[in-house]
């Protein structure tokens, strides 16, 4: 499976991609509060996640395709949840 970065490419094409990256960006911070999952991140982090979701959805691969996202990729070191698995179920 390949990350097509379709969201990033489209946003760049229409001039809406946030080119200036903040030096303080350090990945998605994922917390749980009152049975609610909260994802907090910079525009770049959120667009990167959107790219992963879309590439998984359009992969055309069989059931079980997945992405691992953790502190070595897109999750912040100080995140309450340090690993995510996005999985396609059909």
How far apart (Å, rounded) are the C-alpha atoms in residues 4 and 75? 20
pLDDT (0 to 100) of residue 55: 94
- How high is the pLDDT of residue 83? 96
Q: What is the pLDDT of residue 47?
A: 96
In this model, does residue 19 exceed pLDDT 90? Answer: no
Query: Which tokens hold the place of 26?
Result: 């350090």
Q: How far is CA 64 from CA 36, 61, 79, in A?
A: 26, 8, 26
Residues of the chain with pLDDT > 90, as a percent, come to 78
Taking the model in full, what pTM does it have? 0.88
Rounded distance between C-alpha atoms, residue 90 and residue 46, angstroms:
24
Instruction: Let me know: does 76 contact 45? Beta carbons within 8 Å.
Output: no
What is the model's pLDDT at position 53?
A: 96
Instruction: Specify the higher pLDDT residue, 69 or 25.
Output: 69
Residue 73 Cα to chain centre, angstroms: 9
Q: What is the pLDDT of residues 23-57, one digit of tens each?
A: 777 899 999 999 999 999 999 999 999 999 999 99
> What is d(CA 56, CA 66) in angstroms, rounded to the nearest whole number?
7
Q: For residue 66, how many C-alpha atoms fall within 13 Å in the half-sphere facing its CB?
A: 10
């Amino acid at each position: 499976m390949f990350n097509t970065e379709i969201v990033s490419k489209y946003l760049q094409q229409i001039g809406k991609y946030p080119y200036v990256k903040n030096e303080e960006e350090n990945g998605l911070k994922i917390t749980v509060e009152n049975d609610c999952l909260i994802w907090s991140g910079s525009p770049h982090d959120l667009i990167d996640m959107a790219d992963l979701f879309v590439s998984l959805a359009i992969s055309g691969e069989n059931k079980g395709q997945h992405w691992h996202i953790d502190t070595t990729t897109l999750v912040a070191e100080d995140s309450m949840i340090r690993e995510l698995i996005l999985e396609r179920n059909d």
